[in-house]
A and B are shown apart, each in its own frame.
Chain A
Amino acid sequence: MTDESEADAILSVRNLEKHYPVRSGLLRRVTGHVKAVDGVSFDVHEGETVGLVGESGCGKSTTATSLLRLEEPTGGEVYFEGEDITEYGSDDEQAFRRRAQMVFQDPNSAFDPRMTVGESVAEPLGIHGLRDGDRQRRIVEDLLERVGLSADDADQYPHEFSGGQKQRIALARALILNPDLLVADEPVSALDVSVQAEILSLLDDLQSELGLSMLLISHDLGVVRQVCDRVGVMYLGELVEMAPTEELFANPQHPYTEALLASIPDPDPRNRGDAVELTGDVPDPSDPPSGCSFHPRCPRVVPPADYDFPEDSFREVLDFRLSVENGDVDGDEFASPADVRDEFDLPPELPDGDADAVISAAIEDVLAGDTGAAADRLGDAFETVCEREAPELVETDAGHPAACHLHGAASEHAPPELSASDDD
């Protein structure tokens, strides 16, 4: 990152880490760490909306709360207008709290049911030193109107409003101190589609009106596409790709991004069933896979350079290897080598004779009941760069960074058909 882009950024996050200790046993000793956020870096520029997307458990919400210091990060720096907020004293921190605000997912639990909406919305004003009731009231009424409610609503209680209206009130409260940065964590996930659309357009309007910078966390790529200028994709605590929104949708560079995009149900009944399906769940974050943490699910996992695999056929071979290594394969269940190939979607014969010889020998081992030998044989032959080395976030040919061995230093392993397959 150059100094110039940092100077321009209202928020710069550098190698942010939030590790939670895992304790076990009688003495509650720390036996490991859940790396909820593990080295995330990005910038939010003045007036820009940046989105963070990913499956649940990928660390996007923790990123938001750590960068606001609602939870103390365990490593890395966060610069707000060039100053490191992790070194703020209490006065500076109070000023920062005024200028950076957050909106949460569930508007139903965001309000004290015994306070009127006006009291709730005005509360931050009192905390930050404006205690004149009449002035508070004027500001509250002005903001309620701005978010599409009426000034009289200030005297109502939260339960009298629908979910969408409550989210508007939550927005009014977040905006009452005139912040420069708004962090919105899943602001529309708890709402109906029709109401989502309203809140998203409201966010858009408010942002251009007030010149806000915004960080939007969502698991819904449709939402992100609607409001964000740039999007970062997170997987298991790491940022795997970052790109301007339309570029990310048109030309995803990381296989995980591709799979995420392909999983969005397409509202066109004539385009059915063309989704790339991701197998399995997000791995256990306290015991992440080696190398690229996405490799156990990746449909584009890089084959070893010694063999010649047609595109995307290595996944089945690797799945077979992993099952054998985990001891999930029982030779007694299969009658013939063809059965084994069938079960693991392996072709009757791989085009590369050497690779096929290894597979055949391993299947023989399995049928003979010697899974250990099969595991060794497969492990020696089919080791992939994806499990050895963690990829760095590097600039790709598409002009934006992604963390994948298909790009970067290991890209000589990339199947040549890669770019062609992107076109369809």
Chain B
Amino acid sequence: MTEPLLSVRDLHTQFDTDDGTVRAVDGVSFDVEAGETVCLVGESGSGKTVACESITKLVPQPPGKITGGEVVFDGEDLTGLSGKALREYRGGRIGHVFQNPQGALDPVYTVGDQLVEAIRLHRDVPKSRARERAVELLDRVGIGDVEERIDDYPHQFSGGMKQRVVVAMALACDPDLLIADEPTTALDVTIQAQVLRLLDELQDERGMAMLFVTHDLGVVAEIADRVVVMYAGKVMETGDVYQIFEDPSHPYTRALLECLPGRGRALETIGGSLPDPTDPPDGCRFHPRCPHAVPKCETGSQPDFEDVGGDHEVSCVLHGDEHRLPDAMLEVADDD
């Protein structure tokens, strides 16, 4: 296999707070291949956003601190780079789209000016050429009447349109990787469908890789090639989208799938809540809420990854060597 475009290895990011140190990302590893879509899924507080922001060091430092691990993008370790060198990547080869489009746009500049600025930060082109490019981009993301709207201010756009503008900005320099953090969460379902379709088309056109953070498994099913399930700063399970949805192997993944509303049957709830981030439990982070927990889950550190077939890895003792009948156990538990 060739080198992945982005390889995150044993990443640790922590925040110093008055209540103690929060290890928001505690040894996370995953890869993104060129052209593929990887989804990071988990509840709020699972560390998915911090993991994403650590890639280009967007985590505010202090109080945040990247304490270990490496982030290799196209052969170069980003964790060792200076601020200046990183800025070349941010918005250049790595584009970002955030959850709240309102917060990502400056209210006192027109969208055209902001796009031109984004382009000229990374490309040495005259203003007129940058503006042409801005028009092209806005047209591509589906803003009608571009010539008229390019000189409008962000408040003159609806939420969906603003998110399209933000996508256009992220694409300004033809990134190889687009990091999208809950880009559709603030939007209505109908608009969400439009934006997801747009991202999908753009990705096909440009052969761009996408790292997509979401808590919505419906969205994951719609766009992901591979899925990384996070819980309390740790990765619980990774696999391709079919493995995750059709053969979820970690009890947490199963629980997440069970609590999707609107499937016409009674909801299973996970029960309990995320552990105290300053004092996570020993053993598997999920064991206090896990319906299948055995004593072994409560000690040591997060179980090692077990390959359950075809790059489908899961961090759960039920899949370890000492428990050779995991499937039978899980199936019995499923019946109730």
Question: A residues near B, CB below 8 A?
Answer: 55-56, 162, 164, 192-198, 200-201, 219-226, 246, 249, 259-260, 262-273, 275, 277-279, 281-282, 328
Q: Which residues of A contact B5 (CB under 8 A)?
A: none
Q: A221 to B218, alpha carbons, bound, how many Å? A: 12
Residues 175-212 of chain B, each 1 if its beta carbon lies under 8 Å from chain A, else 0: 00000000000001111111011001000000000000
Which chain B residues in 246-288 approach chain A with CB under 8 Å?
A: 255-257, 259-264, 266-271, 273
Establish whether residues A194 and B255, one from each chain, have CB atoms under 8 Å apart when the complex forms: yes
In the bound assembly, the distance between CA atoms of A225 and B43 in angstroms comes to 22
By the criterion CB–CB under 8 Å, are B221 and A197 in contact?
no
In the complex with contacts A263-B193, A277-B193, A328-B144, A269-B224 CB distance below 8 A: yes
Which one, B221, B264, B267, contacts A246 given CB within 8 A? B264
Can you give 27 contacting A-B residue pairs, CB < 8 Å? Answer: A55-B189, A56-B188, A193-B256, A194-B255, A197-B269, A198-B271, A200-B261, A201-B267, A219-B188, A222-B218, A222-B261, A226-B261, A226-B267, A263-B189, A263-B192, A264-B262, A265-B193, A265-B216, A267-B245, A268-B221, A269-B245, A270-B242, A273-B222, A275-B197, A277-B193, A278-B193, A278-B194
B44 within 8 A of A: yes
For B191, what are the chain A residues with a Cβ–Cβ distance below 8 Å? 55, 281
| A188 nearest in chain B by CB position | B261
A197 adjacent to B189 (CB under 8 Å): no
B residues adjacent to A (C-beta < 8 A): 43-44, 144-145, 158-161, 188-194, 196-197, 200, 215-222, 224, 241-242, 245, 255-257, 259-264, 266-271, 273
Q: Which residue of A lies closest to B267 (CB)?
A: A197
**In the bound complex, what is the Cα–Cα distance between A353 and B267 (angstroms)?**
55
CB-nearest residue of chain B relative to A275? Answer: B193
Given contacts A164-B273, A328-B145, contact A266 B222 (CB under 8 A): yes
Q: What distance in Å separates the Cβ of A207 from its nearest Cβ neighbour in chain B? A: 14
A268 to B189, CA, bound (A): 17
Contact present for B190 and A259 (CB under 8 Å): yes
A195–B245 alpha-carbon span in the complex (Å)? 20
CA distance A273 to B216 in the complex (A): 17
In angstroms, Cα B190 to Cα A224, docked, is 16
Contact partner, A269, options B242, B256, B264, Cβ 8 Å = B242
Other than A226-B261, A265-B189, A279-B194, give 14 A-B pairs with Cβ distance below 8 A. Answer: A192-B215, A196-B259, A221-B189, A222-B261, A225-B262, A225-B264, A259-B190, A260-B190, A264-B189, A267-B260, A268-B245, A271-B221, A277-B193, A281-B158
Instruction: Give, as a whole number of angstroms, the nearest-CB distance from A143 to chain B.
Output: 20
B204 → A minimal CB distance (Å): 12
Known: A55-B188, A224-B262, A281-B158. A267 touches B257 (CB 8 A): yes
Q: Which residues on A sit within 8 Å (CB–CB) of B217?
A: 193, 267
- Do A265 and B192 have beta carbons less than 8 Å apart? yes
A276 to chain B, nearest CB (A): 9
Q: Which 4 A-B residue pairs are closest in the complex by CB-CB distance?
A: A222-B262, A265-B218, A197-B259, A225-B262
Question: Which of B190, B221, B259, B260 is the one whose CB lies under 8 Å from A278?
Answer: B190
A-chain residues with CB within 8 Å of residue B160 when the two chains form the complex: 281
CA distance A271 to B145 in the complex (A): 34
Are A223 and B189 in contact, with the CB atoms below 8 A? Answer: no
Query: By the criterion CB–CB under 8 Å, are A197 and B192 in contact?
Result: no
Q: How far is the CB of A233 from chain B (nearest CB, A)?
A: 12
Question: Residues of B contacting A328 with CB < 8 Å?
Answer: 144-145
Q: How far is the CA of A377 from the CA of B191 in the complex (A)?
A: 33
Known: A222-B261, A272-B222. Is A193-B188 also a contact (CB below 8 A)? no
Complex CA gap A363/B262 in Å reads 47
Chain A residues with CB below 8 A from B145, complex form: 328
Cβ of A221: which chain B residues have Cβ within 8 Å of it? 189, 262
- B190 to chain A: which residues have CB within 8 Å? 55, 259-260, 263, 278
Chain B residues within 8 Å of A273, by CB: 197, 200, 222
Bound Cα distance A246, B263 (Å): 11
Q: Is the CB of A194 within 8 A of B256?
A: yes
The answer to whether B218 touches A266 (Cβ under 8 A) is yes
- Chain B residues with CB under 8 A of A279: 194
Residue of A nearest to B192 (CB): A263
Q: Are A266 and B273 in contact (CB under 8 A)?
A: no
Residues on A with C-beta less than 8 A from B215 are 192-193
B222: chain A residues within 8 A (beta carbon): 265-266, 269, 272-273
Q: A264-B218, A277-B193, A277-B194 are in contact. Are A196 and B273 (CB under 8 A)?
A: no
